[in-house]
């Protein structure tokens, strides 16, 4: 079952305006990986593309982009930001990966349980499909949240010019799942509109992800930064190449 209520209008807006630096600051290092792999043009598939910040960097660098996100509100923003890209509202588990030079999934995309079918086994199937879709020398670049992503923090509060966001965290250690209860307040006219969402993530271990990728046939390395941009504690990046 797929949760189509993920990243509704207000949270999509807040994520785009207040949390876009991850994509922006990751871009130079990611583009460098592409250049070093000899990927100078062609199709790039961005799974969990969000509001299209990374997609715009790709289009500006001369690539053709296919963006996929489960949130229709995010895709609406992405369409406006990057009219030259192709966007689809879909779960990354169900989207048929087209032939491409590279696939990216940035910002814990593979951890999310918006699609209840997500699991390590389901993720393996996705990565197998990506492997077959990639041209020789193609790249799969993504990051996942690992068990120490949860630092014991119970709440976080962020605010912008016309919005505020409260996040409450809960860690289920036996299931290795992280739950975020997200309450947003967005100024509409003279009033603030309140919305609430529940986001659950399945946390993965770095060794099991590396083993899965190598079993599929990828050459893989774990990274803790995209170029000069360091990933936060508990977030591990993977650069996987198809021989």
Q: What are the tens digits of pLDDT across the range 184-204?
A: 999 999 999 999 999 999 999
How far CA 175 is from CA of 24, 27, 152, 200, 235, in Å, comes to 33, 33, 16, 11, 18
How far CA 48 is from CA of 12, 75, 100, 163, in Å, comes to 12, 10, 16, 23
pLDDT tens-digit readout, 108-132: 999 999 998 999 999 999 999 999 9
pLDDT at res. 153 = 75
Across the range 118-147, mean pLDDT stands at 98
pLDDT band at 2 (very low <50, low <70, confident <90, very high): low
0.85 exceeded by pTM: yes
pLDDT at res. 150 = 80
Are the C-beta atoms of 81 and 13 separated by less than 8 Å? no
- Give backbone dihedrals phi and psi of 193, rounded to 5 degrees, phi first: -100, 135
Q: Which two structure tokens, joined as six digits, stand for 211?
A: 């083993």
pLDDT tens-digit readout, 211-226: 999 999 999 999 999 9
Q: Cα separation of 46 and 43, whole Å?
A: 10
> Per-residue pLDDT for 1 more than 60?
no
Which residue in this structure is represented by tokens 């229709």? 72
Q: Cα separation of 98 and 18, whole Å?
A: 31
> Per-residue pLDDT for 160 more than 80?
yes
Mean pLDDT taken over the chain: 97
Could you give the dihedral angle defined by the CA atoms of residues 235, 240, 90 and 116, in that order, rounded to the nearest 10 degrees?
-60
pLDDT band at 152 (very low <50, low <70, confident <90, very high): confident
> Per-residue pLDDT for 20 more than 70?
yes
> Per-residue pLDDT for 82 more than 80?
yes
> Per-residue pLDDT for 4 more than 80?
no
Across the range 125-150, mean pLDDT stands at 97
Q: Cα separation of 166 and 185, whole Å?
A: 9
What domains sit in the chain, N to C, each tagged with a CATH number?
9-147+204-241 (3.40.50.150), 149-201 (2.20.25.110)
């Amino acid at each position: 079952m797929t949760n189509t209520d993920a990243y509704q209008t207000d949270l999509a807006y807040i994520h785009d305006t207040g949390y876009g630096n991850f994509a922006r600051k990751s871009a130079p290092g990611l583009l460098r990986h592409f250049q070093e792999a000899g990927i100078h043009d062609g199709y790039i598939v961005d799974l969990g593309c969000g509001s299209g910040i990374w997609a715009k960097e790709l289009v500006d660098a001369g690539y053709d982009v296919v963006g996929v996100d489960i949130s229709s509100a995010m895709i609406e923003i992405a369409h406006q930001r990057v009219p030259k890209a192709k966007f689809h509202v879909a779960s990354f588990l169900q989207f048929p990966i087209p032939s491409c030079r590279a696939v990216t999934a940035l910002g814990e995309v593979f951890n999310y349980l918006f699609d209840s079918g997500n699991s390590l086994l389901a993720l393996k199937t996705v990565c197998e499909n990506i492997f077959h879709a990639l041209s020789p020398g193609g790249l799969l670049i993504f990051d996942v949240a690992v068990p120490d992503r949860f630092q014991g923090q119970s709440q976080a509060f962020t605010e912008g010019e016309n919005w505020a966001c409260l996040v409450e965290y809960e860690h289920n250690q036996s299931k290795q799942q992280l739950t975020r209860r997200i309450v947003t307040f967005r100024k509409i006219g003279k009033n603030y509109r309140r919305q609430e969402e529940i986001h659950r993530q399945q946390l993965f271990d770095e060794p099991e992800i590396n083993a899965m990728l190598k079993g599929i046939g990828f050459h893989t390395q774990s990274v803790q930064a995209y170029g000069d941009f360091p990933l936060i504690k508990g977030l591990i990046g993977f650069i996987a190449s198809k021989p």
